[in-house]
Structure 1
């Protein structure tokens, strides 16, 4: 509850920062950087909601996402590939799987049941991997494949950006974490505090070989840092679902688009307000992939393919799941629901 009251105050402040025509500063900033390009809906959705909307939210919510038992969503495994990946959740080994025989209707099954022969950890095993995990081999990215994507079908994280002036005034470092907890009136032992500390730690980590990384805590820093990396001739991509769905099983359709290798993939982190970890990894490609759900839901999903994984930690779960070693084959994954990606036009 304290978090929502805190954000309500800053929502009111954002109105004070509105431009001379009633526009938000973020909208003015976008026009100054991209005068001939409308702001993508994915970014508009990240702007501060009207204060009245937050007031209504205060009546019904306690400031946490009950499903995640934390602030927003848990740290996802697609943002850490170096040595820090060793401690990633073991849930990856048992989650996000579908039963091939039933074409995805039955309960998830473990990849160790599908890929039980330790001596045959090769690409042949990967022919079914796309049906069993968020990770798969690039050669399996083609129409007709069934995929189980609960991280794509999950409810969107509704946290929005704070006004830049406000975001700059709030500490965002592990050294100042006690102050951050005091500011949000959070118990250090709470799940929210744990999620926030994980986010800050991930943002402070050093990039592995071939990786550039930054965290954006405001709309302006998100745009400016991305332009600094890729220039202004860029476009923003996002996952698109025609409607919300509770069925995470999709089939890949025709019309897969290769969006290129000059990319900056941005993951929405678990925090009371919008924070994005953006990174660019050498030899990485972005695809837009059409999907059709078992219930008829149409979607366009982002797929990230890493052609060179030689710098990744051998302890990363993907190598156990796909039974390969770092640097041997290209590895792909679908992006989590709230992921954004900048690519050069």
Structure 2
């Protein structure tokens, strides 16, 4: 058991290292989470529709070979990425909103600073109760991330880790502009699986907010290229088929110009996010 865990931790460490160092030239934000902490909610604010990162949402009917979508990839500053902690290190630091004052002092962060507000929002989301039909947790270390994912998906499940991969002929050819991407292959769907999406949160060290639903989500692997053919994106996309429990002010409804809770909502994943699925064959 110990050797298995050690292998899993080593694998995930290498995955995250390659994800951030090799592929993390660009990144797309999942929701309106600003690294400086201005806003970490799912709810739309005044002027937020002007944020190009909101193009990550799309409709189920958009998943067609040859279809074109505008997508924006936000630059990720590798030098500002927070450290990854081991379980032993993370367990020495409380992770609860009730200890916010202690944590702010511990990390020498002022309460009203962007970073202080981001910490408060991250702890609030991680400590909040899950909604009906939802699984969620926050992983504060490599070991906890793996253990909690296995606890929800299944201790003996054959897990597959998916990430968004950006491929270009050379690093200096990467474009951070909003541009069109075309589906060059029919999206491949995973059937009969369990899924968890893990999103990196703004915090002094690496924290992943992971969540999934007991049913009603469809998981795809997509392959897209830009109009000039220089950038290719391969990675996961998820369509939430039941949005009836979502907040009526969820940003996705505004971006997609749909009636709240009326239809499925799909989204791509930022480059620094992780998607866990049970490993099964994919179908087109």
Global fold match (TM > 0.5): yes
Of 199, 204, 226, which residue of structure 2 is paired with 1:267?
A: 199
C-alpha distance after superposition, 1:135-191 (max 9, x if no partner)? 2220111122322322x4432663332121111111211110011011111111211
Aligned equivalent of 2:70: 148
Aligned to 2:5: 29
Counting matched residue pairs gives 253
Summarize deviations over 1:92-141 as a string: whole Å, max 9, x none: 422228xxxxxxxxxxxxxxxxxxxxxxxxxxxxxxxxxx9332220111
Asked whether the 8 Å contact 1:154–1:337 carries over to 2, the reply is no
Instruction: Return the alpha-carbon distance in structure 2 between the equivalents of residues 209 and 284 of structure 1.
Output: 14
1:238–1:207 CA distance, 2 compared to 1 (3 A)? same
Deviation at 1:327, TM superposition (A): 4.0
Distance change >3 Å, CA 133–CA 38, structure 1 → 2: closer
For 2:182, the equivalent position in structure 1 comes to: 251
CA distance in 2, matches of 1:223, 1:45: 18
SS at match of 2:202: coil
Determine the structure 2 residue equivalent to 1:237. Answer: 162
Runs (4+) off by over 6 Å: none
Contact map agreement 1:311 1:326 (CA 8 A) in 2 = no
**Structure-2 residue corresponding to 1:180:** 103
CA distance, structure 1, for counterparts of residue 241 and residue 13 of structure 2: 29
The Cα shift of 1:284 comes to 1.0
Report if the CA contact (8 A) 2:162-2:235 is conserved. Answer: no
2:225 corresponds to which residue? 292
The aligned runs of 1:47-196 (5 Å cut-off) are 70=36, 75=40, 77=42, 85=43, 88-96=44-52, 133-150=55-72, 152-155=73-76, 158-196=81-119
CA deviations 1:240-296 (Å, max 9, x no partner) are 011443234222221422124510111110112110011112311221111112451
Measure the CA separation in 2 of the matches of 1:91 and 1:291. Answer: 29
Query: Which structure is higher in RCO with an 8 Å CA cutoff and minimum separation 6?
Result: 2
- Judged with a 3 Å threshold, the aligned counterparts in structure 2 of structure 1 residues 293 and 287 are, in CA distance, closer, same or farther, namely same
Task: Return the TM-score normalized by structure 2.
Answer: 0.78
Q: TM-score, normalised by structure 1?
A: 0.65
Aligned 8 A contact 1:241 1:300 in 2: yes
- 1:6 match: none
RMSD after superposition: 3.0
- Give the conservation status (yes or no) of the 8 Å contact 1:241–1:298: yes
* Conserved? CA contact 1:70–1:191, under 8 Å: yes
Question: Structure 2: any 5+ residue segments left out of the alignment?
Answer: 22-33, 169-173, 280-284
**Residue 144 to residue 245, structure 1, CA distance change in 2 (3 Å):** same
Q: When you count strand as a share of all residues, which structure comes out higher?
A: 2
Whether the 8 Å contact between 1:285 and 1:305 is mirrored in structure 2 is yes
Gaps of 5+ in 1: 1-25, 50-67, 78-84, 98-131
Q: Which has the larger radius of gyration?
A: 1
Equivalent residue, structure 2, for 1:207? 130
